[in-house]
Amino acid sequence: MNSEAKYETGIRFSGSTPRAGALDALRGYAILTMVFSDTEAFGILPSWMYHAQVPPPIHKFDPSIFGITWVDLVFPFFLFAMGAALPFSIGKKLNAKSGIYNAILGALGRGAQLVFFAIYIQHIFTRVTSNSHDLKSCLISLFAFGLMFPMFMRLPESLSLKVRTLIKSLAYLTGFVLLFTLNYPGNHSFNLENSDIIILLLGNMAVFGSLAYILTFKNKLARMAILPFIMGIMLGSTNDSSWTHWLFNATPFPWMYKFTYLKYLFIIIPGTIAGEYLIEWMKPELSPKKEMVAEKRVAWIIAGLSILLVIINLFGLFSRQLILNLLLTTSLVAFGIYILRKGEERNVLLWKKLFKAGAYLLMLGLFFEAFEGGIRKDFSTYSYYFVTSGLAFIALTFFSIICDFLKGDKYCRFLIQIGQNPMIAYVCAGMVIMPILGILGLSSFLVLLDSNPWLGFLKGLIITTLVTLITMFFTRIKWFWRT
């Protein structure tokens, strides 16, 4: 973000480009909670501190457990933010001459980058290259992290195109050499099947989510109409003699693509709708309305309702208090829609769109809850897609109020800056912090923190704080990874 960033009628400007801080904040929240959930102590914290289907103390996957925890919101929130960013990244291309062609090429290129990213990091983490976090594996990890800057950064325009191309080519070539020459424990070698599943899913969504948006540009209804066909293929795939079964299982490159990955379009596509709402909100007005006291009162009420809806649904679905959860959710949703009914100001109109969309998807998810036995992240259910998409809309409403309307950016600035550089934050713990601690001989200190729940919580907090500081540093000096 440029130092001259300013605010006007709730719109963030970075140079000449407007930016919705709420979207960055949501993405930042998702990536930081993802880091925290992965670095907190395992086996000793309450079960609601982990994925619902892998409870402590042994964390063995059990699909017969239904419900979700806050950890189960992390990935769908990030996916939703990814979908919401597509209208910003693709919209300008589609409005230009030969826009569709360039947008499709861009989507394929981004998908390829993310697939490479997924394979690369999965072969570089110290836990993969060594059983003991020795000095060699730590140095390799740090070197591999540094190599990702020329791979994924936009190099200075002061360099000629030939020089920039040469630098990137050498970085990728060095990365490939590193992958193919490393010796892994157990005499294992480089394997395309070994990839980070979260980044691999993002790569698939970068391609198919972008294609869905490109083909339905400016037609929200047509975009949503794609989803029943995806659902039909997934439901029909259980019939072994059907063509849907063949299509569901067909893949030329199983290490890169499986049809089952497309289920996350149920989160990406609603996210694109949210992104379009943000773009509509950011359009300049000839006579912007002044902030009103009533508008602020509505803001605080809706922000409070948004937090309550997330907390109540996490509690109700995890504890299986389904009737109570449905009644409370219905009451809060109805109250929120009532509060927003007469608002015509720019900001209130945005909150109304986001809140209503979120309310619809959340209620739809609760009505689907009994289908497939109950809501579950793994194996994911339709209720999970609808509930998490709805809660993502509602969380975006909250961040829109706090970051972009109430000018609370000084309190969530760290989330915004993390959200602008999420891929650095994603790998920072495994490729930077743990190797440095290994070199300094402090890894054993973290092991000691696994002795009781409070220290185990502190462990995750310490590592997440370090990730935050390192990522904010690179954001402030404008070293962004573009994937």
pLDDT means over runs of 10, the chain (483 residues): 36 48 95 94 90 91 94 97 93 75 90 95 86 84 95 90 94 93 78 92 96 92 96 94 94 94 97 95 62 79 96 97 97 96 85 96 97 93 97 97 82 91 95 92 83 90 96 95 85
Q: How many CA atoms lie within 13 A of 40 on its CB side?
A: 23
pLDDT in tens, 288-339: 455 566 688 899 999 999 999 999 999 999 999 999 999 999 999 999 999 9
Neighbours of 247 (CB within 10 A): 12
The pLDDT score that the predictor gives to residue 113 is 94
The pLDDT score that the predictor gives to residue 133 is 73
The pLDDT score that the predictor gives to residue 372 is 92
Q: Which of 109, 77, 72 is nearest to 93 (CA)?
A: 109
pLDDT in tens, 197-223: 999 999 999 999 999 999 998 899 999
Sign of torsion over alpha carbons 464, 130, 56, 60: positive
- Structure tokens of 365? 């998810």
Q: How far apart (Å, rounded) are the C-alpha atoms in residues 412 and 207?
A: 30
- Structure tokens of 207? 């391609």
The pLDDT score that the predictor gives to residue 467 is 96
> How much is the pTM?
0.91
Phi, psi torsion values for 395, nearest 5 degrees: -65, -40
